[in-house]
Amino acid sequence: MLSADLCQTLVMTADAMRDARYPWWVISSAAVALHGVTPVEVGDVDVLMSVADAQRAMDRLGVVPIEDGASALFRSMLFGRWETPPLVVEIMAGFHVATSAGWAEVLPRTRVPIFVDERVVYVPDRAELAEMLRLFGRPKDLERVRLLTL
């Protein structure tokens, strides 16, 4: 069962991404929750999309790109935080994760539509989401993998 805040945030996200020209996905904890996994704590909603769509969405939503959004583990060509919904929505384009072999782009191959209050939200399938979370490798990601594969 999704929390009221998560539901409202996902509805607002789906509405905001409605005009996207290329595929987009919700990833990480919100995607795990959308696959029906419980209990999972969702602190924000991570949206992965094309650079062009992210720029258009951020312009329309009044989100200013964050130049220093990179960390030692993650980086994006374009990154912004939409703070209007109940949960912050992190918009990421050209998203990469640091691996032992260098930076690897995170671009899902699968796209599963899930309905939230008559809106469609897209997530990677369970196996690909688990693979992505394993790649991220943080303790919270590995716990999400465990929950996804129960």
Per-residue pLDDT, 150? 84
Q: How far apart are CA 59 and CA 70, in angstroms?
A: 20
pLDDT at 46: 97
Distinct helix (H) and strand (E) counts, the chain: 5, 9
**pLDDT in the model for residue 68:** 63
pLDDT at position 111 is: 98
pLDDT of the residue at 69: 58
Contact 81, 87 (CB under 8 A): no
Q: Is-contact 45 10, C-beta < 8 A?
A: yes
pLDDT by position in tens, the chain (length 150): 899 999 999 999 999 999 999 999 999 999 999 999 988 999 999 999 999 999 999 999 999 999 765 678 899 999 999 999 999 999 999 999 999 899 999 999 999 999 999 999 999 999 999 999 999 999 999 999 999 988
CB 149 within 8 A of CB 130: yes
Q: Encode burial over 106-121: b for 16+ CB neighbours within 10 A, e otherwise.
A: bebeeebebebeebeb
Q: What is the pLDDT of residue 67?
A: 78
The tokens describing 141, both together, are 């990601």
